[in-house]
Structure 1
């Protein structure tokens, strides 16, 4: 079931611009198995957190799990996308 969009969600044109940066190899990591959650949903969750200033653990359940979102946020903060 598809979730209702939030005001902070990326539009299709915004995602088209960011997708090559965050998904250079069509959603797979350089090593390992395919990602469990889409990068678009991870980014949507991060934008939601920034806009609402909610706690990581209070992220709504229709986003990927908070720890998966936090993992990518920390990794990008340290290494870049």
Structure 2
């Protein structure tokens, strides 16, 4: 993450409880290093234990990731960044309209029958990704369903 990107992300980060005097202890690693490590894992698709030595110890990064996932901090961070981006563009923080689309994707043989469906229109046996964005193209919601689910029709 560049210094400019970190400057944007840093102001939108959730404040740790120990800084608000609500208990807990200071963390051993900088949040920037942790976010960089998680981004590296997602980008390269490596195992946790294969994290390069340039990053904090893999177990510390994994614990950070699990804590953020359980508290839904990643969504909170993204929503704060999305609101800031919209306000900079001269728009209201929350959108009044959205755009929805879906895409059917073939499922591998290892995907269970309970999470697969058949999309007759696309002749696909698998799953469907439903994506909702605002009119600026910023992501609002992603849902994965069986491929036989149809998106709601709006008139």
TM-score, structure 1 normalization: 0.73
Identify unmatched segments of 5+ residues in structure 1.
1-9
- For 1:38 and 1:32, locate their aligned partners in 2 and report how far apart those are by CA, in whole Å: 16
- For 2:39 and 2:19, locate their aligned partners in 1 and report how far apart those are by CA, in whole Å: 22
- For 1:32 and 1:64, locate their aligned partners in 2 and report how far apart those are by CA, in whole Å: 20
Identify unmatched segments of 5+ residues in structure 2.
74-155
Q: Is residue 7 of structure 2 the alignment partner of residue 16 of structure 1?
A: yes
Determine which structure has the larger strand proportion and give its number. 2
Aligned to 1:79: 71
Correspondences of 1:33-72 after superposition (within 5 Å): 33-72=25-64
Indicate conservation of the 8 Å contact 1:56/1:70, yes or no: yes
Relative distance call for 1:19 and 1:13 in structure 2 (3 A) is same
User: Could you say which structure has the greater relative contact order, defined with CA pairs below 8 angstroms and 6 or more residues apart?
Assistant: 1
After TM superposition, give the deviation of residue 12 of structure 1 in Å: 1.1
Number of aligned residue pairs: 71
TM-score, structure 2 normalization: 0.41
- For 1:23 and 1:62, locate their aligned partners in 2 and report how far apart those are by CA, in whole Å: 25
